[in-house]
Amino acid sequence: MKNALLSLLLFFPVSCLLAQEPSFVYESETLQIEQISPNTFVHVSYLNTDDFGKVACNGMIVINEGEALVFDTPANEEASLELINWLETDKKTKVTGVVATHFHWDCLGGINEFHEKGIPSYASEKTIALAKTANYPLPENGFKNKLKLEAGGVKVINQFLGEGHTKDNFVSYVPSDQVIFGGCMIKALGAGNGNLEDANVPAWPSTVRKVKSRFPDATIVIPGHGKIGGLELLDYTAKMFEQK
């Protein structure tokens, strides 16, 4: 697996890959999917908001050996069903789990479609409690601070490292592909503050620095919204909220 990743990076350095326009392996009006490493994909769906208008929302998919894990549902049930159908029909994979990285709607708004298919869902105990208070759909399986999952032998580490965008936000890391899914805790370059309604702004920079320290080998970072990048997204986010 590592040799395959190294071969990919040898011919296509990360900086070159990230500078290119996305090359979607699937595209419709409601959902786009882009492969960014040997086993990792980004799914993009759209949330209509009062404050920010139509917002593109990122999630992650990890696929290997006929199995798939989804990190954050698409932003609505229609796009979530579309994603499940693509995975099952086009990719011939079994979806073994869906993970919500915090309690906001753009992470779990489509989770009932996964439940309808008998797909288990995971989130931190904090996320489940906050989703219940908000009267949002509830993930089924909770964990305290750390959860390891696998898709066809490809490991994904899900870990809570502190508060930031929300009290419950955690990151998901794919060691073999060196990819961090930062969710809404991590900002794309040039992005603004976004939704601070549930944020712990003073703690946010420290949490992001812990993410960088915990996963120093990461080369690709997926933010909750906007373009993917490298570790510079962590630095950008930390500096943004140090100034508040």
Measured distance CA(2)–CA(6) in Å, rounded: 6
Annotated catalytic residue 107: no
Measured distance CA(242)–CA(76) in Å, rounded: 33
User: Of 43, 126, 165, 167, which is the active-site residue?
Assistant: 165
User: Of 57, 58, 72, 102, which is the active-site residue?
Assistant: 102
**How big is the CA angle at 10 (ends 9 and 15), to the nearest 5 degrees?**
50
Annotated catalytic residue 115: no
Question: What is the identity of the amino acid at 203?
Answer: A
User: Of 106, 158, 168, 169, which is the active-site residue?
Assistant: 106
Annotated catalytic residue 184: yes
User: Of 43, 126, 167, 225, which is the active-site residue?
Assistant: 225
Ordered alpha helix ranges (H), the chain = 2-11, 14-19, 77-85, 105-108, 111-116, 125-133, 204-214, 232-242
Annotated catalytic residue 104: yes
DSSP state of 187: P
Neighbours of 51 (CB within 10 A): 8
User: Of 117, 195, 198, 210, which is the active-site residue?
Assistant: 195
Residues annotated as catalytic are 102, 104, 106, 165, 184, 187, 195, 225
